[in-house]
Amino acid sequence: MTSGRTTRWPSGLIDGRRSGDLLLPNYVGGEFVTGGTSFAKVSPVTGETLLHVAEADQATVDAAVTAARAALRGPWGAMGEGERAAVLRRVADELERRFDDLVAAEVADTGKSVAQARTLDIPRGAANFRTFADIITATPTESFTTVTASGGRALNYAVRKPVGVVAIIVPWNLPLLLLTWKVAPALACGNAVVVKPSEETPSSATVLAEVMAAAGVPDGVFNLVHGFGPGSAGEALTRHPGVDAITFTGESATGSAIMRAAADGVKAVSFELGGKNAGLVFADADLDAAVEGSVRSSFTNGGQVCLCTERIYVQRPVFEEFAARLAKRAEELAFGWPSEPATMTMPLISAKHREKVLGHYELARAEGATVLAGGGVPVFGDDRDGGSYVQPTVLTGLGRHARTMREEIFGPVCHIAPFDDEDEAFALANDSEYGLAATVWTRDVGRAHRAGARLEAGLVWVNTWFLRDLRTPFGGVKASGVGREGGTHSLHFYSELTNVCVDLG
C-alpha cells in the first residue's frame, strides 16, 4: 500500500500564478503512475498554465479496472459494514488533516474564493464520508415471514451486496464535493471505484487519492485516471467491459452518450444532468429574502451549479421592484482575487466556456432582451484580464420560446419575467425540457405545499436555496437525470439486494 505521498501546493497557485513544475499522476492499484502524455491545467483566474496532468491511456484504464476487480476479491471484499464505515471515518479525518492542501487545490483549479472552498466544498467532502458511514451501519434490509401452502413458515430476508466496479465521472464546477458525494456511498456499500475527474479540475481528486492511501484504504479500492472524454480516459472507462455501473454528473448531451455506451453491457447508471431551473417570487413573499436568495441562486459559483436559477418569474405587483433590486445587487457583487476575503464572484472555468456564455449574452440581445445589469466582461487592469471572467447579468423582456429561455447557459445570468396568478407561475416553471430544481418565495403555507406537488422538479426549495440534508433524495426529472442519490437512495444504486428464502418447515 502506497502512503506518505503529499503534493505541496505553492500559495501562488491559488491566485492563478504558476510556481514551479507540478505533474499530477494517476493512481492505480495503490501506486501513483505517470508515463505517456500529459496535458496542461490552465488557471481560470489568469489564463496561465499552472501545472501538468498525466493523461491515462487505454492501458492505464485497463490496469485501474483490473486493480478494482482484484480489490473486490481481497480483504476489502471480506469486510463487514462496520469495518468499511471505520475506513470512511478515517478518510474524513484525513480530509480534515489535509484541509489547507484541498482548499489550495480546489481554488487553483476553479478560481472560486478561498472563503467558499473553506466553508462549503471541503467541509462537505468530509461530511459526505461521515454521513454514509452512519447510513450504511444504520439502514436495515427487509425480512418477511411467509406462510407456506402446507401451513408451515418460511423466512425471507435480503442480503446487501456491492454492485462491483463503479466508474465515477464528475464535472468541474464542484469537484471535491461531487466526487465525495459519489465515492463515499460507493465505498460504504463495498464497491471498488475508478474515478475520472474533469480535465479542468484534476487537483483535489489527486489529493483525495493521497488521502485514501494515508487513511489505509486497501490498494485498488480507489483508482484515479485523468483525461478527457471522447477518445481518452472517459470513453475508455465508460465502454470498459469490466465496469459494472456508471455514475455521472454533467451536461445532458454527455449523459446521453454515456447511456448509449452503458447499454451494450446493460450497466446500471445514475445521472444528474443539466437544468434550466425556475424561481417563483409571489407578491406575498419577504422581498428582502427573495432578492438575496435569488442573488445566491443565480450567481453562486459563477452560476456554474446545476441547481442555479436561470429563469425567475415574479408576480406582477412586485415585478418592477424585484427586478430593480436584483439588478442593483448583481452590480454590487465584488470581484477580487480568490485569496481576498471580500471576493464574491469567480471566473468561469475556461476561456472556451466563457465564449459559450458570452455567446448566450449576445444571443439574448439579438432575441430582444433588455440587459438590466452586466452583459459583458469586467476589466481589471492586472493579470485577471487574461482569465475567464464575465459580469453577473440580469435580463428581461424575452418570450417563453426564446433560445435564451430554453437552453442551459451555466453562467452568472438570469432572466426575469412577470406572471399574474399561481396557475400561470407553475405552468411557466414547468415549461422546460429540464426538471432539476425550483425555488419558491412565498409566505402562503398552502401554496408552498402545492408547489411541491405541482412543480416538475426533483428538488423544490421554499424560501431558501441549496439547503441540503444528505439523507434526502437528490436528482432530476425529464432531461435533468436518471435515478436518485442521497441517503438510502444512494445505497439502492451502489448495492444489489439478494433475497434469501429459508423453508422453516
Q: How far apart are CA 10 and CA 409, in angstroms?
A: 33
Answer yes or no: 433 catalytic: no
Handedness of CA 183, 186, 188, 190 (dihedral sign): negative
Kindly tell me the sign of the dihedral angle through the C-alpha atoms of 77, 83, 89, 91. Answer: negative
Three-class SS of residue 392?
Answer: coil
Residue 143, Cβ neighbours under 10 Å: how many?
Answer: 11
Cα distances (angstroms) measured from residue 184 to each of 27, 124, 190, 200: 17, 11, 10, 22
Burial class (CB in 10 A: 0-12, 13-18, 19+), 405: buried
Cell of 324: 430593480
The catalytic position among 106, 210, 306, 456 is: 306
> What gap in Å lies between CA 262 and CA 407, rounded to an integer?
26
Question: Is 461:438 a contact under the CB 8 Å cutoff?
Answer: yes
**Rounded CA separation 327/312 (Å):** 13
**Alpha helices for 267-402 (secondary structure H):** 287-299, 316-332, 351-366
Q: Identify whether the C-beta of residue 249 lies closer than 8 Å to the C-beta of residue 474.
A: no
- Run of H or E including 469: none
Is position 308 annotated as part of the catalytic site?
A: no
CB-side neighbour CA atoms (13 Å) of 357: 27
Question: Residue 314: phi, psi to the nearest 5?
Answer: -125, 130
Query: Rounded to an integer, what distance in angstroms lies between the CA atom of residue 306 and that of residue 243?
Result: 26
d(CA 378, CA 382): 11
Residue 136 is placed in which grid cell? 450504511
User: Annotated catalytic residue: which of 106, 210, 272, 485?
Assistant: 272
Residues annotated catalytic, as ranges: 272, 306
